[in-house]
Chains A and B, each alone.
Chain A
Amino acid sequence: MDLDLSPGEAAFRDEVRAWLAAALPARIRDKVRAQKRLTKADHEAWHALLAGRGWLCLHWPRALGGAGFTPVQKHIFEAEMVAADAPRIVPFGPNMLGPVLIEFGTAAQKAHCLPRILSGADWWCQGYSEPGAGSDLASLATRAVREGDHYIVNGQKTWTTLGHHANAMFALVRTDPAAPKPQQGISFLLIDMASPGVEVRPIVTLDGEHEVNEVWLTDVRVPVENLVGRENDGWTVAKYLLGFERTGLAGTAFSRQGFEHLKRIARIEQADGRPLAEDPAFSLRMAEVEIDLMAMDVFNLRMVSAANAGEAIGPEASLIKIKGTELRQRITDLLRRAVGPYAMPFVPEAFDEGYNDAPIGPGHAAPLARQYFNMRKLSIYGGSNEIQKNIVAKTMLGL
């Protein structure tokens, strides 16, 4: 057993690190570092740079314009991205729809959609959840009725992340309400957001931000050639995609970075005449988190390495998701607590580019409470942590 990178892996890491240092625009890096709001244009600019290097679509084979990374390379790459304060890749096209089309898409779908994901011509969003269908996704009610060579779609999607930037949505819709099991009557459709009858309404989250949306669909006409996989077999497609979604959710690189940030802040913040990092209670909390983080890192590497060897990752993905998200949340909790009373001030304008007023209190304090509340989402989405526990209990433990 060797927990260190092989010479080849280390060389790859150095290559990625050097490229990021040279290619990531300082303006964007500084925004990410200060947790300022990224605009659609910021994301697009960064995607274009990654695509230019061939590193936007990590899962895809090289022949299709992807990076063709092994799971280990992908892991290294993602850690370097976080460490460099690069914006995360907006996952819906590159990490979600891309792999789905490569597996299930028609030749025409691949030829049309994949290059447009790479070029940034399309911004995809994920239309799965509905007001009545969250954890119980298979109960979704958005209806698609075949009429000639179109589906007529009616219903409502919700929690659509960055749907206000998107021009296209991949959605799960019900095509056979009479199917014996709810999972059996579902299809996977590609919907042009510019179609008549698509309406996007913002949802403001508890931190005052606009990140998610409701998408209302009224008599939206979708050409039948936009069906991915077979009609009524969308659940198979969705489950395949979920596998890709869940591996990214451990977020150990974010935890590591958050922890390093916590150490920096705890050295600056003073408590009873000494740095907070030396406070008896707080330093032990930090130590405990670091132990969990070290173990989590290795857990993640075990999974990455198994995937590298071609093994299928089963319910372990659920374990990783639960532990990884809990850890990230604990770190944001400590970050908020670290700054004491200066977690209180809330100046939303301060997160826009070009805001230059002096911060209230130490500059590092401003985003921390907001981040803590925003990160509550980690244990809710991507399959809530309770649902992950149900999966583990059932499939891993046979209970």
Chain B
Amino acid sequence: MCSYKLSTILATALVAGTALAQRGPDLGVVATSEQIAEWDRSIGPDGTGLPEGSGTAAAGAAIFAAKCAACHGVDGEGTINDRLVGGQGTIGAERPIKTIGSYWPYATTIFDYVRRAMPYLTPHTLTDDEAYALTAHLLHENGIIGLDDVIDAESLANVAMPNRDNFVRRDGVD
């Protein structure tokens, strides 16, 4: 199913003189849904890809203290590494303080990034419940959700991030 839209893009690329006239030897092996499920850990802004499980800020605080505070500060205020909390209202100012609360447009990015890359020295060690709890903790510390609000696949995509509307896209894609 090489659709109309794609053929248009292809045609444009060909006109632009790129190498798509080349054909490949078709050596890819069809991936199984189990393989894809194992590899595909990215989360879309609409919540696509969020796994089962849940967590609250109450549960996340202890995990943060144990696994994150050494680099990001006890309250996420940023010590040796990025500040994660506060800075609301500074974005247009002389010294913008970009944090989850002041800057990040999507809450799903917290879960995606923490689960793929943190803790920095031991990535891929958090359970999904821990990642949910840490996400809830960081949202709570930034005053976005309550201490006992449950964060899961349902609720995370619906969290309204305060700075969401202050981004303008320059990619030109519809």
A, B: real partners: no
- Could you list which residues of chain A lie within 8 angstroms of chain B, going by C-beta atoms? none
